[in-house]
Amino acid sequence: MPNEKEIQKKYIQAQLLKQQINAMIEQKSAIDEKLGEMAVSLDAISKLEEIRKGEEIWSSVGGGVFVRSDIKDTESILVSVGAGVVAKKSRQRASEILKERMVELKKADLQIMEEVTSYAHQIEELEGEMESMMEEQEGKKSRKK
């Protein structure tokens, strides 16, 4: 016969899984945002081919703020390589790096969704077990009366 503590234990397990799902959904949102930023950057890099040296453009400095700038070089791009360090790369190599990073982020995104699905199934199982245990408890209480 299931007791209150067993039901409570399963309830706590389900709550912990729900918290983990919420944390993973936040991670997924951050990844999706980063993927969007990278797609915009990739598009901007591809448009550099159309710009001539000395041409004036509006450049984003982030947060919806732009400055007027003169293009001096459309072939070299500074790319973040981590820890606040940037490296000069060709336009083609910068595109390749962004695409590689996007592939990795998409893999992480997929892995998160697989884990969320797995946790959701575990929660369903726990809830089913709790329901059965409570019904069993209720049935035994009714028979005692």
Number of C-alpha atoms within 13 angstroms, CB side, residue 2? 18
Average pLDDT, integer, range 77-93? 94
Between helix 91-144 and helix 4-47 the angle, nearest 10°, is: 160
Distance from the Cα of residue 113 to its chain's centroid: 9
- Domains, the chain, ranges and CATH? 4-144 (1.10.287.370)
* Residue 143 pLDDT grade (very low, low, confident, very high; cuts 50, 70, 90): low
- Rounded-to-integer distance, Cα 87 and Cα 54, Å: 23
* pTM of structure: 0.78
Whole-number Å distance between alpha carbons of 64 and 47:
19
Q: Which two tokens stand for residue 89?
A: 């790369």
Q: What phi-psi label fits residue 62: left (phi over 0), alpha (psi between -120 and 50 degrees) or beta?
A: left
For the stretch 98-136, pLDDT in tens is 999 999 999 999 999 999 999 999 999 999 999 999 888
Confidence grade of residue 59 (pLDDT, cut at 50, 70, 90): confident
Least confident window among 10-24, 55-69, 93-107: 55-69
pLDDT, residue 78, reads 94
